[in-house]
Amino acid sequence: MASSFHFEDSRDERVKNRAEEKCATTTNETPSAGLSSPTDRRAFLQGAAAAAAALAMPRWAQAHPGNMDAILAEIEKRHDESVKRLQDWIRQPSIAAENRGMNEGCELTMRMLREAGFQQAVKVPTDGQPGIFTTLDAGAPRTLGLYYMYDVKQADPAEWSSPPFEAALVDKPGLGKVVMGRGAVNQKGPEASFLAALHAIHGTGKKLPVNLVFVAEGEEEIGSPHFPQIVRRPEVMAALKNCLGIFMPSASQGLDGEVTMTLGAKGVIECELVSSGERWGRGPRKDVHSSNKARLDSPAWHLVEALATLVSPDGNDPAIEGFADKVRPISEAEKKMIAEAARRLSETEAKKLLGVEHWVHDVSWREALELLMSRPTVNIEGLVGGYTGTGGKTILPGKAVAKLDLRLVPDMTAAEALAAPPVDLVLLDLGLPDRDGIEVCRELRRRGDVAIIAVTARAQERDRIAGLRTGADDYVVKPFGMAELQARIDAVMRRAARSVPNRGRVTVEDVTVDLDAHRVTVGDREIPLTRKEYDLLAALARRAGTVVTRDELLADVWQTTWAGNPHTVEVHVAALRAKLGDPGLVQTVRGVGYRLRVDR
């Protein structure tokens, strides 16, 4: 594919993928990390001893100069068929997050593998999307593992200058024709380039210098939840144990032609933070005129203040308590590799590619590479609140949302999380890299009564039963919406609040609620309350100073979400105020719920 460059989308992710250049310019040999017992994608890829040591193409090319010339000529000869192969692949959507085209995408990938020379391609069933396992025996003394993903991210056509699944050939100034489509960079383009190289080698009648063990999944873009089910199969594990490393074709070539091979991958957590006036109990429930800011709290500013607590003042270093305490420093060997990369790679081209002029803290090129390879991060993916269209619009938003991703590095493990300070709620992914989530759930439950929600892709009934019996309070199967997760969190926390024994007293001026004795006094006088009136006051007292919604009160006091009379809560609040003799003690938060006033 001598003159093809592949671009992901209209935002110009400028990364070249030329199959013959990937073979010819990969010159650095690096030691293999090996592979013992892969259990997930991160551990699997940590065995990636970059293809240079595995393929050793320069050494092979020096020993067989005529062979290399013939292969390069074959690449040129097969250019058009290689481009068409990539276009056909892109035109087959395979989006795990939408369960769109996944079986078709798997079958197409298997057919392409067989056409490229793999002896057999086996579909590996999982509880989610299927994986693929196959081998290519070249009779070589060494074996290399090969990781592919056949799924891609979602695509909004409105964000694209060319339809994302047409794989059109587009003229790009300064670069010539490019293939434009979802997956052209991540990851179908690089993977198709690797297959093009195999076709070219086979077309000359030559053999690969290594054997290949191939493993693919269709859920990389949703966090690889079922990858362990693929690599833990006995036949797959046995084949992988013979590999000196794992290679993942990627967009590894810069605009200057230099190729960079990466020896591993960071982990990632994605989450969403929502600041809502309705849920907060302060600020507007919906967008209102901005002139009201003088007298109303702002959910948007509330979110900004919350985000600022996660990082250092300049936004560059995580400030979450304990988040980076166990991070493993990079080794001297790793520092030497990074120093060599800094010498070989162009800082100018890297900055041009990213569209930046400075690294954080104005560090050197070598230090920037060290940070990229070794440091955990807290990043804002998106920040939305109120009006973002053309011109201005004088509103005070009732809601603001931030989407975050947190990058993880070696030694940030489940064991470390278990050793962290106590929390009120644990969202537990059962597919952890270093321990089985069920074991972690059992350990958490042994230690105390913390609320636990299992968040997992394990959808089988036996998995749900195991999670709930081990100690999870709820079980949510991926993919799920944030609204559903929030509702489940609310429900679990309500149950947790009801199960907490009444402890101590809540006193507001001369009103005392004795939660242990179930007594309410005003000064020295005990106030006779009905059972529902007391339960209502106790529910507010347990969360004195915070807003309790009408729905929460219905669930806590009446054990329902509807109490027949739509004014049931209001009637009981009015009676309670009258008996306590202080109408301001139970405050109404209009449209939301009620709050028990605390001492000023």
Among 310, 165, 187, smallest CA distance to 249 is for: 187
Grouping H, G, I as helix, E, B as strand and the rest as coil, residue 147 is strand
Q: Where are the domains of the chain?
A: 5-247, 267-407, 414-495, 505-596
Residue 318 identity (one-letter amino acid) = P
Grouping H, G, I as helix, E, B as strand and the rest as coil, residue 305 is helix
Rounded Cα distance, 134 and 366, in Å = 39
pLDDT at 193: 94
pLDDT at 113: 97
Q: Going by C-beta distance under 8 Å and a sequence separation of 6 or more, which residues neighbour residue 363?
A: 371
Grouping H, G, I as helix, E, B as strand and the rest as coil, residue 126 is coil
Rounded Cα distance, 146 and 18, in Å = 18
CATH of domain 505-596: 1.10.10.10
For residue 69, what are the β-bridge partners? none
Instruction: Pull the structure tokens for residue 358.
Output: 């400075």
Task: Write the DSSP assignment of 214-279 as a string of letters.
Answer: EEEES-GGGT-TTHHHHHTSHHHHHHHTT-S-EE---S-B-TTS-B-------EEEEEEEEEEHHH
| C-alpha atoms less than 13 angstroms from C-alpha of 307 in its C-beta half-sphere | 28
Distance between first and last Cα of the chain: 73
Instruction: Pull the structure tokens for residue 457.
Output: 């892709």
Could you give phi then psi for residue 588, rounded to 5 degrees?
-90, 130
pLDDT at 96: 93
Place domain 414-495 in its CATH homologous superfamily.
Response regulator (3.40.50.2300)
**pTM for the whole structure:** 0.59
Give the number of other CB atoms < 10 A from CB of residue 344: 12
Residues comprising the chain, all counted: 600
Instruction: Pull the structure tokens for residue 128.
Output: 């989610």
Could you give phi then psi for residue 219, rounded to 5 degrees?
-135, 25
Q: Note the CATH architecture for domain 5-247.
A: 3-Layer(aba) Sandwich (3.40)
Contact 19, 86 (CB under 8 A): no
Rounded Cα distance, 33 and 540, in Å = 57
* DSSP-H helix ranges across 326-381: 332-344, 347-354, 365-374
Task: Going residue by residue through the chain, which has 600 residues, state the pLDDT in tens, using 9 for 90 and above.
Answer: 333 333 333 333 333 333 222 222 222 333 323 333 334 444 443 333 233 333 435 555 555 666 788 999 999 999 999 999 999 999 999 999 899 999 999 999 999 999 999 988 999 999 899 999 999 999 999 999 999 999 999 999 999 999 999 999 999 887 889 999 999 999 999 999 999 999 999 999 999 999 999 999 999 998 788 898 999 999 999 999 999 989 999 888 877 777 887 777 788 888 889 999 988 888 999 999 999 999 999 999 999 999 999 999 999 999 988 788 878 888 999 999 999 999 998 999 889 889 999 999 999 999 999 999 999 999 999 999 999 888 999 999 999 999 999 998 888 876 767 666 677 889 998 877 667 888 888 888 887 778 899 998 787 888 888 889 888 999 998 878 878 888 888 888 887 766 555 456 778 778 888 877 778 998 888 888 887 888 888 888 888 888 888 888 887 787 665 544 567 788 889 888 888 888 888 999 887 889 888 764
Give the number of other CB atoms < 10 A from CB of residue 23: 24
Give the number of other CB atoms < 10 A from CB of residue 208: 19
CATH of domain 267-407: 3.30.70.360
Instruction: Pull the structure tokens for residue 170.
Output: 């587009």
Grouping H, G, I as helix, E, B as strand and the rest as coil, residue 382 is strand
pLDDT at 503: 55
Greatest Cα pair distance, the chain, in angstroms, is: 103
Would you state the torsion angle of the CA atoms of residues 417, 422, 423, 428, taken in this order, to the nearest 10 degrees?
30
- Whole-number Cα distances in Å, 434 to 44, 233, 249, 466, 519: 12, 18, 25, 19, 50
